[in-house]
Chains A and B, each alone.
Chain A
Amino acid sequence: MPTNAVVRSVAVDPDRPERTYVAGPAGVFRSDDAGLTWEEADVALDGEPVALALDPFNPQTVFVVMTDGSLWKSVDGAAKWQLVWPAGGPAE
């Protein structure tokens, strides 16, 4: 993640609290060491993220909203994404 990056949203895996997600204009990033290192997790995401949330009982499921209002969903911890609104089919 870029140093001093704008962060608009942060979420933590309740089953694995070292796993942290952040979203902002630079994209979606995931850390598996509580924020010491980050990897980009927005491959195939189209747009600028403004908010991110996890399903609390199935935290591999991640939702992201973009500045254009589109809603994206990942069911594998942000490895792959699917556009779920507006309906436009998968955008892997």
Chain B
Amino acid sequence: MKRAPCVASLTGVFLLAACSRGGAAPPILAPATEGQIGISQSVTLAVNPFDGSLLRADQQGLFRWRSSVGWTEVQAPASAGFSSVVMNPDNPATVYAGGAGFGAIRSDDSGETWREVISGLPNLDVAALALHSFQRETLFAWVEGVGIYQTEDGGKSWLKMPDPGPPDPDVRALTHSTLAGSMNTGWLYAATPTGVYLSMDCF
């Protein structure tokens, strides 16, 4: 897989973006309680921009919400332990889900059928997935205990990115952004129990 060039001096730098609000110092939330929850307690949402439905991934499974019927379960190879779900907004039938014990799976028919997309992943514990903002076959995965992986071919193959990731490795969610200033195609936000971190997507 071809890698975008990255400036060495900037790789590995995560900027703590969680800043205090003004006024009195707010309480610092202790991460210990959250840390006990673990990967399986992650919850993610994805919005289908064409019909307004939602997908929700959590420890209990994968669910679809429609305003007319509420939540219904989406059948998938894994029945529990989901950490993340992302949808291609240009083609919402294409959905990726990640989780503990099964890695990452892909559906191209709105969740009717699924296939594993785990080639290159070091283990099957995916804590977070993010879809690139405009390169729809590029995704990022945070692999529990290892670091961040990238695919540029819709999950056919994954490669580890060189950066070790944020100081807090307990990543609960990833999001790609086209925020200006990146030396590559954008930035990645990582949500953790100690704040949200930002890094260029070439890390």
Which residues of chain A have a CB within 8 Å of any CB of chain B? Answer: 1-12, 14, 17-18, 20, 22, 24-26, 31, 34-40, 50-58, 61, 63, 65, 71, 84-86
Contact pick for B175, options A1, A5, A12, CB 8 Å: A12
Cβ contacts under 8 Å, B47 to chain A: 53-56, 61, 63
B21 and A25: CB pair below 8 A?
A: no
When the two chains form their complex, are residues A65 and B71 in contact, meaning their CB atoms are under 8 A apart?
no
Interface of A is mostly: loop
Whole-angstrom CA separation of A63 from B65 in the bound complex: 11
Which stretch, B28-36, B140-148, B149-157, touches the partner chain A?
B28-36
A2/B49 in contact, CB under 8 A: no
Please classify how large the interface on chain B is, using the bins under 10, 10 to 19, 20 to 34, 35 or more. 35 or more
Segment with Cβ contacts to A, from B4-12, B116-124, B189-197: B189-197
A35 with B26: CB separation less than 8 A: no
* CB contact list, B1-42 vs A, under 8 A: 15, 17-22, 25-29, 31, 34, 42
Contacts of A37 in B (CB 8 A): 19, 21-22
Q: Which of A6, A8, A40 has the most CB of B within 10 A?
A: A6
Complex CA–CA separation, A61 to B27 (angstroms): 29
Chain A residue numbers with a CB within 8 Å of B191 are 7-10, 22, 24
Asked if B177 contacts A8 (CB within 8 A), the reply is no
State in angstroms the CA–CA spacing of A56 and B87 once bound together: 10
Which of chain B's residues 172-203 have a Cβ closer than 8 Å to chain A?
172-173, 175-180, 186, 189-196, 198
